[in-house]
Chains A and B, each alone.
Chain A
Amino acid sequence: MNSLPLLSLIVFTPWAGALLLALFPRLSAGPTRSLALFFSLSTLALGTTAVTGFDPAVTGFQFSEKHAWISALNVNYHLGLDGLSLVLVLLTGVIAPVAIFGTTKTSPQPSLYAALFLFLQGSALGVFLSLDFFPWFVFWELSLVPAFFLMKLWGGPIVARAAYQFVIYTIGGSAFMLLGFAALYAATGTFDFVELAALARAGTLATQLGALGSFWPQIVFLGVLLGLAVKVPMFPFHTWLPPAYAEAPTGASMFLTGVLSKMGFYGFLRLLWPLFPTQLQAAAPCLLWLAVAGVVLGAYAALRQTDLKRLVAYSSINHLSYCLLALFAVSASGRAGDPASVAALSGAVLQMFNHGLSAAALFYCVGLLENRSGGLRGLGDFGGVRTGAPVLAGLCGIAMFSSLGLPGLNGFVGEFLIFRGVFGLAPWAAAVSTLGLLATAIFLLTFWQRVFHGPATGAGVNFRDLDADEIVTLLPLIVLMFVLGVFPQLLARLINPLVTTWASTLPLQ
């Protein structure tokens, strides 16, 4: 096992596939899809291999690979896997093949589409596995390139604006982060997350940064915070998200919301919290209420959307804000080893996975509605779709109820744990956030009622039901929703020791 560079394989197999597909730009849809699916599924296969070799009890990094890259700058090619990365790799391994399978065939220029998609997949995986800032940042920024072209070339009517806004906003945010890490490097001479985290734990990181100037620790913290907050997105840096998700093509929306939106919160857990625990703790009471605002206002803004894709996009803001809520509550309390912290953090990690499943499925369903009706996706454009398409209605309904946190489906477990933890740490924030749960139920049920129920009207007349391909696309997601709703242990097993360690060691003071 040691001889095989498993993590490099995970990252670079999709890229190899992208390269291969780029060499055959005229390949027809069928073979393209099979080929792309093969390379995309490699992540799931290798991820499962990693699960079998993974020891959850070890809370450090496993399968580590470390090679010198640019020795003059002390930059290393350093990959490593812990429970958090593993969960996200598995999520990528589920979402990406599903999105490729579901959307490649119907896209014009399928070969280019699939190549960009695989490129995107590899970049995201690189972000989840890199442990050195340099390669991490390269992957982080590289992921924007295929995302931009996927949106620009296959997107909706007003996609250009949304795509530019998405890329520029995100790059603008990460510029500050880059600056922050340059300062960190100047102070410490290393880019390695593990070493930096060790310094932070020892308390010397802030001292070393302070040597540059007394305000530098705060500046660097704010820079990194800004970069990540834009990516997540954290309220009020979220305005790029609804147009971007709404205008992106279905497959890209699925991947953006399913996987890319997790990169930001991953960054919070991997970078911001370990490196700046004291600064985060100081800022957390403030940030906590921003997260609450994201939960409540995100859900309420969704109530007013008439565009189905924007509606689902807002629900993403709402769901990711739950993760932030959990982290900030834990950080604000600063109590080591509190069981509430364990619950909140476990919930946040599970929520990442669960939201990926449900949001991707919802985007796929909305994409189907859009495709069948020739580009319509208004709340009022449909009616009574369930009459003609009971299977679509049923599967979409399951995804929806998963998204609104119905027990028995996956969404509940994460949300319950987050609420349980946050209530123990910041009761009022939890109480206010329940409003978000209510609003989520209202807008999702309104969506279902307006589109699927009632007499068949508008584009809902004689709506064609799902064909075999489409059912196969949705089925893995739906099955996982049930399985993880009933047996959350499957995922909890992987992350529990890690999260327990976080809760017991990281908070300072």
Chain B
Amino acid sequence: MTLSAQFLWLIPALPLAAAGIGALTPRSGRKTAAGAAILSLLGAFVLSCFALNGALADPTMHATYNFNWFDLGATSLRLGFLLDPLTAFMCVMVTFVGLLIFIFSTGYMKEDANSTRFFCFLSLFAAAMLGLLVANSLLLLFICWELVGLASYLLIGFWFHKPSAAAAAKKAFITTRIGDLGLLLGILWLQHAGGTLLFYDGGNGALESSVLASLAGQTVAGGLALSTAIGLLIFCGAIGKSGQFPLHVWLPDAMEGPTPVSALIHAATMVAAGVFLIARVFPLMSADLALTTVPVHALTVVAFIGAITALLGASIAVAQNDIKRILAFSTVSQLGYMMLAIGVGSWVAAIFHLLTHAFFKALLFLGAGSVIHAAHHEQDIRSLGGLRGPMRVTFATFAVGMMALAGVPFLFSGFWSKEAILHAAHLWDVSHLPFYIGLVAVVLTAFYSTRLVAETFFGRPRSPAAEHAHENSAAMTGPLVLLAVCAVLLGFIGTPAFPWLQAKLLGQTEIHGHSLFDGAGLMITSIVLVALGIGAGWAIYGRRPRANATARDPLEARAPRLFAALSNRLGFDEFYASTVFRLNDGLAIVSDRLDRHVWDGAVRFLALLGVFTGQVNRDTDEQGLNAGFTAASEKLRDAGKFYSQRQSGEAHGYLRTLAFGFVIVLLLVILGGAR
């Protein structure tokens, strides 16, 4: 069976419905919410497999289904769905890993009173992530991209009563939003210059040759090609979401969320969305490669950022003590590898590593979750130790994950995907620096992953919690085992001898394998480096296990200042606090002051002016104009009073006056000589 692009929306719609159910279920309906979430994701997984089946039938096709969202001017705003091998592989991975993590969560979150909400948020996340994958429009992708950020925010802050969790959630949202603003500007610019946000639209899409040619042909400030500028802005979004230098600071803090969240969102899927985005718009990112006069190519920037992040993450991970933080920095570092791969032009290697990494990192996180759950939320590896005995399944699967991460040769998937990246970096003709950085990071990765396993599982238990730890239920170990199997097997879909995945992704119908000995020199080098890292890690941490929880780290004893700097994450947080935050606060203070004093002051001044004018007016009226009038009025009133007092009320008096007056009139008439 296959699933056509027209019905691709069903894949995100299923978990979305589950999220709706979860949101409306009362707190006691934990099983309903969990059941809906798991069933919907199972359905989405099956549909994804159908979609993959359809996509593999013709890997060169970009099957699209575009529709009108709403009217805008003479045309309308269009969104769409896209089905190609990239989408299909990602969907299958997300739904499968997600499904296992959902199942694991039923065990892990059993005691949490709010677990109904937890499954609601998880489903929301899955819906948004799958929507991001199937989008055929940068706008739809951005919409889902932000929703993924929201789900991540809600889940990091799931234990919201912990202030640190609430703060970490906010930090994650804000930091990624800084990158998203770049992405938004990129989208706006692409819309303006290219006229469309659809990826593929029958020859008119933003990733198709006609638009790309026009974008690459224009020059903007600094001599950059327009496509470079847009590509770099879009890359800003990926930097934020995928925890790349310099916006990686949120990812370790995001570990405040429940461990399944860390596994699903901050290791396997969401953080890989940035890599997916850049892989998706790879035609745009690489549109400027043919130009020789431009100062920089977009992909060059991607490669260097990726290399820096890979080294940075790996080195900081060496000096961390929190089991989840180590894994978080390891994720930062591995995402750097993926970006490095895209930057050197091999986006298929990046996707290969993305897929293998999703499985083994989810495995490591769930293993860490299993440890944390068993050890009553003890996360500090200095206080753990000796868990190899009581937690056999967890140890075995964790070890598989660790070897995949370190790149132990041949059997483990991480080896093949990392090898593909290093191979691509080696062949890059712009600079060899990223390649050498990548090699250094290989050593560090092997070292810190050995340290992690040695400290956690070997030696003696160093705390009561670790002593009483015991293996978890099947709901938790089952997914571990499945993931461990995948972490081994998945490597074989992309070995140099049989690069099936790469061929499908690139839309090649025939698979051109080559002998393993072609790149043997490089492979041997990296095997030696891995051995060096593991050997050093074992020598330092394995042979002489830590005596107690408070003992100094051997590395700390050797190079205290370097260790302190690394364990302080090289001071990025402090640096931002003293620059960006200060600037932000300063701007806030300035605008507040402006409001309170300058603008409001002007208004008050005007009001005072009005009051003053009124006062002057009143005084003039009262003292000047009105003075004589008042006096005259008073006189008139006095006269009236005088006359009224003459009225006695006695009728005889009146009559007398009348008669008297009559007589006087009579006399006047007579004496006046009137005729």
State the A residues within 8 Å of B (CB): 165, 168-169, 236-240, 242, 296-298, 300-301, 303-305, 339-340, 342-343, 346, 384, 386-387, 390, 401, 406-408, 412-413, 416-417, 419-420, 423-424, 427, 430-431, 434, 437-439, 441-442, 445-446, 449, 452-456, 487-489, 492-493, 496, 499-500, 503
Contact = CB atoms under 8 A, between A and B. Distances in A.
11 contacts: A297-B591, A301-B595, A384-B160, A387-B161, A390-B117, A430-B185, A434-B184, A449-B170, A453-B163, A488-B70, A496-B72
A415 to B, nearest CB: 10
B427 interface: no
Contacts of A168: 607
Contacts of B589: 304
Nearest to B128: A408
Contact of A452 (B160, B174, B603, B607): B160
A408 B165 CA distance: 25
Interface stretch (B100-108, B143-151, B272-280, B561-569): B143-151
Contacts of A304: 588-589, 591-592
Contacts of A305: 592
B595 A239 contact: yes
A492 B71 contact: yes
A434 B167 contact: no
B388 interface: no
Chain B interface category by residue count: 35 or more
Contacts of A446: 170
Nearest to B145: A407
With most chain A CB atoms within 10 A of its CB, the pick from B69, B73, B165 is B73
B73 A442 contact: no
Tell me if A's interface is mostly helix, strand, loop or mixed. Answer: helix
Interface string B586-598: 0111111011001
Contacts of B600: 239
A239 B603 contact: yes
A346 B585 CA distance: 34
Contacts of B192: 340, 420, 423-424, 427
A46 B599 CA distance: 42
Contact of B166 (A346, A439, A453, A503): A453
Contacts of B178: 438
Given A346-B72, A441-B174, A489-B70, A301 B607 contact: no
Interface string B174-206: 100110010011001101100000000000000
Interface of B: 68-75, 117, 139, 142-144, 146-147, 150, 157, 160-163, 165-167, 169-170, 173-174, 177-178, 181, 184-185, 188-189, 191-192, 584-585, 587-592, 594-595, 598-600, 602-603, 607
Contacts of A420: 188, 191-192
B160 A454 contact: yes
Given A407-B146, A452-B160, A423 B603 contact: no
A239 B601 CA distance: 9
A438 B591 contact: no
A300 B181 contact: no
Given A303-B588, A455-B161, A412 B143 contact: yes
A339 B174 CA distance: 32
B161 A438 contact: no
Sorted nearest first, the 8 A-B pairs with minimum C-beta distance are: A453-B166, A407-B143, A342-B73, A304-B592, A303-B588, A489-B70, A423-B188, A297-B591
Contacts of A417: 72
Q: DSSP majority for the B interface?
A: helix
A500 B150 CA distance: 34
Given A342-B72, A407-B143, A434 B181 contact: yes
A300 B599 contact: no
Given A169-B603, A342-B73, 13 more contacts: A296-B591, A416-B139, A419-B188, A423-B189, A424-B192, A437-B177, A441-B174, A449-B167, A449-B170, A455-B161, A489-B70, A492-B72, A496-B73
Nearest to A383: B163
A430 B186 CA distance: 12
B142 A236 contact: no
A335 to B, nearest CB: 13
Contacts of B191: 420, 423-424
A438 B181 contact: yes
Given A423-B188, A453-B161, A442 B584 contact: yes
Contacts of A439: 584, 588
Nearest to A431: B185
Contacts of A298: 591
B177 A300 contact: no
Contacts of A296: 591
Contacts of B72: 339, 342-343, 346, 417, 492, 496
A492 B73 CA distance: 10
Nearest to B153: A445
Contacts of A488: 69-70
A260 to B, nearest CB: 19
Contacts of B69: 488-489
Nearest to A404: B177
A441 B166 contact: no
A452 B185 CA distance: 32
B185 A489 contact: no
A301 B588 contact: yes
A334 to B, nearest CB: 17
Contacts of A454: 160-163, 166
Q: Which of A168, A239, A431 has the most CB of B within 10 A?
A: A239
A296 B184 CA distance: 17
A434 B181 CA distance: 7
A455 B162 CA distance: 7
Contacts of A455: 161, 163
Given A384-B161, A386-B160, A236 B599 contact: yes
Given A342-B72, A343-B72, A453-B163, A301 B143 contact: no
A438 B146 contact: no
A242 B600 CA distance: 11
A456 to B, nearest CB: 8
B74 A500 contact: yes
A500 B591 CA distance: 36
A394 to B, nearest CB: 8
A442 B153 CA distance: 13
A339 B590 CA distance: 37
B150 A406 contact: yes
Contacts of A343: 72-73
B603 A300 contact: no
A387 B75 CA distance: 48
Nearest to B182: A434
Contacts of B177: 437-438, 441
A242 B592 CA distance: 12
A442 B191 CA distance: 27
Contacts of B160: 384, 386, 452-454
Nearest to A416: B139
Contacts of A487: 70
B592 A423 contact: no
Contacts of B74: 500
A346 B621 CA distance: 55
Contacts of B70: 413, 487-489, 492-493, 496
